[in-house]
C-alpha cells in the first residue's frame, strides 16, 4: 500500500487540481495500491499515516504552490526518509524545491522525484541532492556591488509569505556586513492608501489632497483591451499606493507580500512590480527577499533586469526546464497582454513574450546569502500551459551537468532569469 498525502493551496480548486493529474495517478496505481489522503484530513484528525508493514510507503505529493507551510506543519510526524513527488502543474516543482531546501536545513532524510508534463518512465527524475555551490564572497568583492549595497534601502511590505519556509534571511547580519537598510512597511497602511486613491479614481468627487493621484491611464503607455480598463485602473491605483511609501521611505528596492492584498483590494501587485522594476526600483513578489537580493546583485553585475520565476516542468531528454510567473519587467519582453493573475483569477497579470536567446539562471541563497549558482543556457520559446502563471518560457541547458546542478540546488523555490 502506498499512502499519498496531497498538499493543495486554498487558491486552487481541489477537483481541478487532481483532474489534470490522471496520468500521474494511473502510473502510481500500476506500481502499487494507493490511498489518497488530503493534508486537511490529517490536520483535522480525520486521517492518520501508519505503515502497517514494511511494504507500506508514504509519498508527499506537493500538488500546488503555496503549500510549503502545510508540509512543515506535519513533517515531524512523517516516517523518514520522506518521499516528495512533484510534477509540471500548478507550481508543484517550485514548492517542492522550497520544501527540500527546508528539509536540508533541518537535517531530514528525504528523496525528491519529479514527473514532467508528458512523461514516460524514462523521464521520471529522482533528483540528486549533491551540489557544490559557489561562494558569494566573490560577488561581494566587486566594488560595484559593495557600493550598491551600501546605498540600498530595502522595503519589506508585510512579511515573507508563509510558504517561504526556507527563505528567511539573517537581516541583522546583512545590515552589519553590507550596510544595507531593511525597512518594514505595514500592508494595512498600503491598503488604506489604496482605498483613498481608488475612491478618487472611481468617483467624480475631489477627495482632499488625493486629487494628485487622479490616474491618466494613457500616461502609463500600456497596451490593453478596452474591456480590461477598469481592472487596469485598479491595479494602477495599487501601484500608486505602493509608490507613496517608496517615495516616503526613499526606497531603492522592495518586496511585497502580494497574496495578502488579494482579498482587501481585489487586485494584484503584478503590474505594479513590473512598472517599479522598469523605473529601477528592483521589486520582487511574495515577500521573497532572497530573490530580491539576487535581482539587485544581478542588476548590478550584469546591467540587466531579472525575471523572478517558478520552475514549472522539465525534460531530461531535451535538457530543458520551463519557468513561469505573473510579473516580469516590461523592458525584458517583446510584447505582452494583461490577463488576470493565475492563482486568484483577479486583477492584472502579465503575459510577457521574452525574446529567444542566451540567458542565465541566477540565485543567491542561505540565511546569510553566502552561496549562489549561475548557469547559462538558452530560452527556446514561450510556452502556453493553462495550469501555470502567465509569463512562461522554456530554458535549455548546455549539458547534462548543468541540468543536474540546477535540479540539485537547495536555494528555495524562485530563480532569477537574466541576460548576462
The three cell numbers of residue 290 are 532572497
Residue of 74, 85, 91 whose CA lies nearest to 111: 85
Q: Which residue has the cell 511574495?
A: 286
Task: Name the DSSP letter for residue 203.
Answer: S
Rg over alpha carbons for the chain, rounded to the nearest Å, is 22
Contact between residue 137 and residue 109 where contact means Cβ atoms under 8 Å apart: no
Q: d(Cα 27, Cα 325) in Å, to the nearest integer?
A: 29
Residue of 36, 13, 21, 38 whose CA lies nearest to 115: 21
pLDDT score for 205: 56
Question: What does the chain come to in residues?
Answer: 420
pLDDT score for 45: 87
Digit-coded pLDDT (tens) for 135-190: 999 999 999 999 999 999 999 999 899 999 998 899 999 999 999 999 999 999 99
Q: Is the pLDDT of residue 130 over 80?
A: no
pLDDT score for 60: 97
Digit-coded pLDDT (tens) for 186-220: 999 999 999 999 998 887 555 555 455 788 999 99
What does the buried/exposed string (b/e) look like for 274-294 if buried means 16 or more CB atoms within 10 Å of the residue's CB?
bbbbeeebbbbbbbbbbbbbb
Q: What domains are defined for the chain?
A: 2-126 (3.40.50), 135-418 (no CATH)
Helix axes 171-178, 143-150, angle to 10 degrees: 120
- SS3 readout for 18-45: HHCCHHHHHHHHHHCCEEEEEHHHHHCC
| HSE-up (13 A, CA, CB side) for residue 128 | 10
Q: Which residue has the cell 520565476?
A: 309
Q: d(Cα 249, Cα 152) in Å, to the nearest integer?
A: 12
Digit-coded pLDDT (tens) for 279-324: 999 999 999 999 999 999 999 999 999 999 999 988 888 999 999 9
Residue 409: pLDDT band (50, 70, 90) is confident
The three-class DSSP label of residue 229 is helix
Task: Name the DSSP letter for residue 211.
Answer: G
In the chain, the largest separation of any two C-alpha atoms, in whole Å, equals 72
Q: What is the mean pLDDT of the chain?
A: 91
Q: d(Cα 20, Cα 25) in Å, to the nearest integer?
A: 10
pLDDT score for 339: 96
| Residues contacting residue 112 through CB under 8 Å, at least 6 positions apart | 84, 85, 86, 96, 100, 126, 127, 129
Q: What is the pTM of this model?
A: 0.92
Amino acid at each position: 500500500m502506498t499512502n499519498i498525502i496531497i498538499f493543495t493551496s486554498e487558491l486552487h480548486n481541489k477537483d481541478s487540481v487532481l483532474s489534470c493529474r490522471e496520468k500521474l495517478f494511473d502510473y502510481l496505481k500500476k506500481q502499487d495500491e494507493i490511498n489518497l489522503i488530503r493534508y486537511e484530513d490529517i490536520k483535522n484528525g480525520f486521517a492518520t499515516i501508519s505503515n502497517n508493514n514494511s511494504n507500506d510507503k508514504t509519498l508527499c505529493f506537493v500538488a500546488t504552490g503555496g503549500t510549503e507551510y502545510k508540509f512543515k506543519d506535519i513533517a515531524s510526524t512523517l516516517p523518514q526518509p520522506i518521499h516528495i513527488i512533484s510534477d509540471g502543474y500548478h507550481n508543484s516543482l517550485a514548492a517542492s524545491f522550497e520544501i527540500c531546501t527546508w528539509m536540508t536545513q533541518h537535517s531530514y532524510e528525504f528523496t525528491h522525484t519529479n514527473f514532467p508534463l508528458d512523461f514516460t518512465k524514462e523521464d521520471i527524475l529522482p533528483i540528486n541532492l549533491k551540489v557544490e555551490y559557489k561562494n558569494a564572497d566573490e560577488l561581494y568583492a566587486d566594488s560595484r556591488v559593495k557600493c550598491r549595497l551600501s546605498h540600498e534601502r530595502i522595503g519589506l511590505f508585510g512579511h515573507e509569505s508563509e510558504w517561504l519556509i526556507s527563505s528567511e534571511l539573517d537581516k541583522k547580519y546583512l545590515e552589519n556586513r553590507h550596510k544595507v537598510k531593511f525597512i518594514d512597511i505595514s500592508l494595512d497602511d498600503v491598503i488604506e492608501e489604496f482605498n483613498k486613491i481608488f475612491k478618487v479614481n472611481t468617483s467624480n468627487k475631489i477627495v482632499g489632497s488625493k486629487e494628485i493621484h487622479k490616474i491618466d491611464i494613457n500616461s502609463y503607455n500600456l497596451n490593453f483591451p478596452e474591456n480590461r480598463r477598469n481592472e487596469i485602473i485598479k491595479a494602477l491605483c495599487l501601484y500608486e499606493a505602493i509608490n507613496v511609501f517608496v517615495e516616503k521611505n526613499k526606497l531603492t528596492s522592495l518586496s511585497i507580500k502580494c497574496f495578502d492584498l488579494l482579498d482587501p483590494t481585489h487586485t494584484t501587485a503584478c503590474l505594479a512590480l513590473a512598472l517599479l522594476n522598469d523605473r529601477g526600483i528592483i521589486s520582487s513578489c511574495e515577500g521573497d527577499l532572497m530573490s530580491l537580493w539576487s535581482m539587485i546583485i544581478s542588476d548590478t553585475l550584469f546591467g540587466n533586469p531579472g525575471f523572478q520565476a517558478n520552475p514549472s516542468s522539465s525534460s531530461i531528454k531535451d535538457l530543458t526546464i520551463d519557468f513561469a510567473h505573473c510579473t516580469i519587467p516590461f523592458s525584458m519582453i517583446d510584447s505582452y497582454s494583461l490577463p488576470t493573475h493565475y492563482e486568484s483569477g483577479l486583477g492584472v497579470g502579465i503575459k510577457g513574450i521574452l525574446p529567444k536567446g542566451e540567458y542565465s539562471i541566477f540565485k543567491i541563497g542561505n540565511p546569510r546569502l553566502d552561496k549562489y549558482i549561475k548557469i547559462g543556457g538558452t530560452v527556446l520559446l514561450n510556452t502556453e500551459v493553462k495550469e501555470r502563471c502567465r509569463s512562461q518560457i522554456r530554458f535549455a541547458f548546455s549539458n547534462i551537468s548543468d541540468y543536474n546542478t540546477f535540479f540539485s540546488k537547495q536555494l528555495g523555490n524562485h530563480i532569477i532569469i537574466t541576460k548576462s
